[in-house]
Structure 1
Amino acid sequence: MDTTKIVGEKIKSLRESQTITIEELAQRSGLAIEQIGRIENNIDIPSLAPLIKIARVLGVRLGTFLDDQEETGPVLCRKQEAKETISFSNNAIHSRRHMEYHSLSSSKADRHMEPFMIDVAPTKDSDFILSSHEGEEFIMVMEGTMEISYGKNTYILEEGDSIYYDSIVPHHVHAFEGQAAKILAVIYTPV
């Protein structure tokens, strides 16, 4: 299943069900009409920041774009069950994607946190665009080394290191020196 296509389809369906035009969504989210059209039509793989802005306008959780079913009780995610992925771009100038997200809670209803195991692909890109959105993020490096650009600071995190930050500050998360890595990330976005 190509979960990347599900995101665009769900955004379009939610927007249309609320009788919000693409122009209104663009204006209220601060995104370009063309960008939203490309996301809805599965032409572009969005980064998390525009998805969070779209979710806020539509009044839904970020996870709504990933959900297939809803469980009100606890949700277990066994190691072998976290195989299905969704890819997001990394806001690099020349790259379409660099992170594969494995949702650890996709069936949990009414959640406020989005936990992911993320495979960070090696990349030669070094020209990253920082982005911001409401909420908070927690990242723990499981394998490899990560570089976190946060405001005017840069942090290098090695295996076992973690960082917790306010995501309203412009930031970018990428593998250090373009090497592959794996991280646990928990993203909180207020609805």
Structure 2
Amino acid sequence: MQERIKEVAARIKELREILDISQESMASDLRISQDTYRRYENGEEDIPASILYEISRKLGVEMSILLTGEAPRMHYFTVTRKGQGVSVERRKQYKYQNLAANFINKKAEPFIVTVEPKPESTPVHTNSHPGQEFNLILEGSLKLFIKDHEIVLEEGDSIYFDSSCDHAMVALNNKPARFLAIIM
């Protein structure tokens, strides 16, 4: 996994340098500290999927190029077989599988996300990114924290929200929760 983090970081650095964008500008646009950005780009720290998505937008490339080093090739459709999505383990508490990594010019990023249960009932870290997000619970139960709201979602429930608001989630009942997340 550490090697994969370094490969993604190297692709980001190379593209940023080709485009003549400074690390300071990237950090500012991503609303993170310059130190945090440098750790991401040096492969010293895992990059959250939401930040990776914003980096891809800033660099003008598909997120899959950063993840795999290959350009998407599909123009009309792409099929992702069960369990075969491109793995994006960008946050320790969540596991992501990108379901459309091979489609060109996506208007949204669809993921299957797995949240493992933890002893804490409240999240340690929140997340935010520009845009909107749709989540549909496929398995388990999830407590979603959005700003000062706590919402419990059960299998089959869904939520659509402004993802620029601080948000996080925890799996409930000591079982993993899986959901479809579409980031727009």
TM-score tier, shorter chain, comes to 0.7 to 0.9
Matched, 1:124 2:119: yes
User: CA deviation digits over 1:86-110, x for unaligned, max 9?
Assistant: 2122xxxxxxx01111111001010
Deviation at 1:113?
Answer: 0.7
Q: Distance in 2 between matches of 1:40 and 1:165?
A: 29
Q: Does the Cα contact within 8 Å between 1:88 and 1:99 map onto a contact in 2?
A: yes
Deviation at 1:175?
Answer: 1.5
Q: Distance in 2 between matches of 1:23 and 1:52?
A: 18
Q: Distance in 2 between matches of 1:157 and 1:187?
A: 18
Q: Distance in 1 between matches of 2:130 and 2:79?
A: 27
User: CA deviation digits over 1:134-187, x for unaligned, max 9?
Assistant: 111111111111111112111000111111111122211332366311111111
Structure 2: 5+ residue stretches without partners: none
**Count of aligned positions:** 180
For structure 1, which segment, 66-75 or 108-117, has the greater mean C-alpha deviation from structure 2 after superposition?
66-75
For structure 1, which segment, 71-80 or 24-33, has the greater mean C-alpha deviation from structure 2 after superposition?
24-33
Correspondence list, 1:119-158, <5 A: 119-125=114-120, 126-158=122-154
Q: CA RMSD in A?
A: 2.3
Match of 2:71 among 57, 69, 72: 69
Deviation at 1:80?
Answer: 4.5
Deviation at 1:51?
Answer: 2.9
Q: Distance in 2 between matches of 1:178 and 1:59?
A: 40
Correspondence list, 1:1-191, <5 A: 3-66=4-67, 68-70=70-72, 71-82=74-85, 84-89=86-91, 97-125=92-120, 126-176=122-172, 179-188=175-184
Q: Distance in 2 between matches of 1:102 and 1:52?
A: 13
Deviation at 1:64?
Answer: 4.5
Counterpart secondary structure, 1:118: strand
Structure 1: 5+ residue stretches without partners: 90-96
Q: Percent identity?
A: 29
Q: Does the Cα contact within 8 Å between 1:87 and 1:98 map onto a contact in 2?
A: no
**How does the TM-score come out when normalised to structure 2?**
0.84
Q: Distance in 1 between matches of 2:65 and 2:160?
A: 23
Q: Distance in 2 between matches of 1:43 and 1:178?
A: 31
Structure 2 residue identity aligned to 1:9 = A
Distance 1:38 1:177, change over 3 A: farther
